[in-house]
């Protein structure tokens, strides 16, 4: 792997034993601090397993006060900290640093309060995404964002990554479903951002923190909105002879004023891999498959399914199958949701990309991706959140063959550059982390990035929290703060002074 992380601080490493002792004094008891080499290996990577690095130490606090004291102590001592939820990040957001404390939030696992009248839940950050829904489903509610890792991923991690899921076109990402957080800054200060109201009192700092990939603070409590579960949900499975016709169908559904709960596309390699794995009954003689899910009152689902079928047929769809039972609906999704492991069966390894593109460019992007695959000598399968243009190419490779991982990474970089070139972005929901860090200049100018990095400086001026992630170049905050007002001729001379 070619990834460069910040140089190890040998002075910190030399004090490892002393640091462990200091943290144990703050987080006493079994499992509060882990410094055993074998036990540290558990934490050496997150969901992006291509990168591995055991942390210097792991600390597992249980209370906000402990988090605050740990951060304050590390701040005072110049020790770096990497926060971690469940470690399911696909972009290396929780990748440890060799000279940093890995701050695991897994012991913050309580649902603190549920308020059905105001339709919110207050949870600790280590609670899993699905556990929030489990806690409120008996009353007919659920938590809308549903990343594929929802059994394991934590709400704190969702906040850090602004996680999405297949339903986010209609129900939004994490940022649209969080009302407030308790946040500990790197210097140990505890602040509450947002709360239980819909609008913030001042600057929307909560909006900055969501999706900040653990660089701005450590979340110790989250207030999320919960929604009444829709009365029904039904899915339609539609096969198309070309990717173009499937893409046009998606555009026509939206033009008809329909925002489906989910709208997923798979290309031929993904369809075949999923069908071989799950036997979901997908047609194999099509170039593209669309799963369209409608939810709401049954009268609405019936009505809209008729409309979607008509639009699909007008676009040359072959078979349309409408789910007639909850079991059948889940079966339609089973293939899509298992697409990653299914691809894992046809290829020793795969590398999942996450760019977003303007949907209208899809046929062109798929054609050019095929050409890029030929250039790199690798194939890829595509699953696509078609409603919002979020593309997940799965690059097939074999890590045991020399050079294939490097080629897969180069192929992936080319795909993301292509996404930006056609007007899209590097990442739709997986985050930048370390994976896309060095591609940031493809999408942002130096001034763009510096404006983001100054936000980091406002929260963490010593840049001790999760350094080496998101930003390709670490500038010192003092340097970033300097003003370089350009002189020269101006159309507005002689402004009055006050």
Residues 129-158 that bind other proteins (CB under 8 A): 140-141
* Residue choice 64, 109, 331, 452 for contact with other proteins (CB under 8 A): 452
Question: Per CB under 8 A, does 417 bind other proteins?
Answer: no
CA dist., res. 465 & res. 152, Å (int): 24
Residue 7 binding other proteins, by CB under 8 A = no
Report the chain's terminal Cα–Cα distance, integer Å.
Answer: 56
Q: Any contact of residue 114 with other proteins (CB under 8 A)?
A: no
- For residue 1, give Cα distances in angstroms to 52, 53, 404: 10, 12, 11
Instruction: Identify residues 45-74 at the interface with other proteins (CB under 8 A).
Output: none
User: Closest separation between CB of residue 290 and other proteins, Å?
Assistant: 15
Q: Which stretch binds other proteins (CB under 8 A): 183-191, 234-242, 324-332, 333-341?
A: 183-191
Compare residues 197 and 399 and give the one whose CB is closer to other proteins: 197
Identify the bridge partners of residue 219 per DSSP, sorted by sequence position. Answer: 183
Which region among 171-179, 268-276, 308-316, 334-342 touches other proteins (by CB under 8 A)? 171-179
The C-alpha atoms of residue 280 and residue 323 are separated, in whole angstroms, by 12
Choosing from 172, 241, 344, 363, the residue that interacts with other proteins (CB under 8 A) is 172
User: Residue 197 interacts with other proteins (CB under 8 A)?
Assistant: yes
Residues 203-242 that bind other proteins (CB under 8 A): 203-208, 210-212, 228-231
Query: 192 - beta bridge partners?
Result: 182
Minimum gap (Å) between residue 220 Cβ and other proteins: 14
Measured CA distances, 183 to 63, 174, 221 (Å): 12, 16, 7
**Footprint (CB under 8 A) of other proteins, residues 291-350:** 296-300, 302-304
Q: Closest distance between other proteins and the C-beta of residue 207, in Å?
A: 3
Closest distance between other proteins and the C-beta of residue 390, in Å?
5
By CB under 8 A, name the one of 6, 200, 241, 283 that touches other proteins: 200
Residues that contact other proteins, how many (by CB under 8 A): 109
Name which position in 7, 29, 257, 402 contacts other proteins (CB under 8 A). Answer: 257
Scan residues 371-390 and list those touching other proteins (CB under 8 A).
385, 388-390
């Amino acid at each position: 792997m070619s990834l460069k992380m910040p140089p190890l601080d040998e002075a910190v490493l030399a004090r490892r034993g002393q640091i462990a002792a200091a943290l144990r004094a703050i987080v006493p008891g079994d499992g509060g601090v882990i410094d055993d080499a074998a036990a540290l290996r558990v934490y050496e990577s997150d969901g992006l397993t291509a990168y591995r690095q055991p942390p210097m130490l792991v600390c597992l606090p249980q209370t906000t006060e402990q988090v605050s004291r740990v951060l304050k102590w590390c701040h005072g001592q110049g020790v770096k900290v990497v926060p971690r939820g469940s470690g399911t990040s696909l972009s290396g957001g929780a990748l440890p640093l060799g000279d940093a404390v890995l701050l695991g939030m897994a012991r913050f696992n309580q649902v603190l309060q549920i308020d059905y009248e105001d339709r919110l839940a207050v949870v600790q950050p280590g609670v899993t995404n699905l556990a929030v829904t489990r806690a409120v489903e008996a009353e007919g509610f659920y938590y809308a964002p549903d990343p594929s890792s929802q059994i394991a991923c934590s709400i704190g991690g969702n906040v850090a990554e602004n996680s999405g899921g297949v339903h986010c076109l209609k129900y939004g990402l994490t940022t649209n479903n969080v009302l407030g957080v308790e946040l500990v800054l790197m210097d140990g200060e505890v602040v509450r951002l947002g709360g239980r109201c819909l609008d913030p009192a001042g600057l929307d700092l909560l909006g900055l923190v969501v999706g900040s990939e653990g660089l701005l603070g450590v979340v110790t409590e989250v207030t999320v909105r919960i929604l009444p579960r829709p009365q029904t949900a039904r899915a339609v499975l539609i096969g198309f002879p070309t990717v173009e016709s499937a893409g046009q169908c998606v555009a026509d559904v939206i033009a008809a004023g329909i925002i489906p709960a989910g709208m997923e596309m798979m290309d031929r390699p993904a369809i075949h891999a999923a069908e071989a794995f799950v036997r979901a009954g997908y047609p194999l003689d099509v170039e593209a498959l669309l799963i369209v899910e409608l939810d709401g009152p049954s009268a609405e689902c019936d009505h809209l399914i008729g409309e979607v079928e008509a639009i699909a047929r007008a676009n040359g769809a072959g078979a349309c199958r409408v789910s007639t039972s909850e079991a059948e609906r889940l079966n339609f999704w089973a293939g899509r949701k298992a697409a990653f492991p299914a691809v894992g069966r046809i290829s020793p390894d795969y590398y999942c990309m996450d760019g977003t593109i303007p949907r209208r460019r899809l046929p062109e992007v798929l054609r050019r991706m095929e050409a890029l695959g030929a250039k790199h000598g690798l194939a890829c399968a595509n699953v696509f959140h078609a409603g919002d243009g979020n593309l997940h190419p799965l690059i097939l490779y074999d890590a045991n063959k020399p050079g294939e991982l490097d080629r897969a990474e180069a192929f992936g970089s080319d795909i993301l550059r292509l996404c930006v070139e056609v007007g899209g972005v590097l990442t739709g929901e997986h985050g930048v982390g370390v994976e896309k860090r060095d591609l940031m200049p493809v999408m942002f100018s130096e001034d763009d990035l510096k404006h983001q990095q100054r936000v980091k400086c406002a929260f963490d001026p010593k840049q001790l929290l999760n350094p080496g992630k998101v930003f390709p170049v670490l500038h010192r905050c003092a340097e970033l703060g300097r003003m370089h007002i350009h002189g020269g001729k101006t159309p507005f001379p002689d402004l009055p002074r006050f």
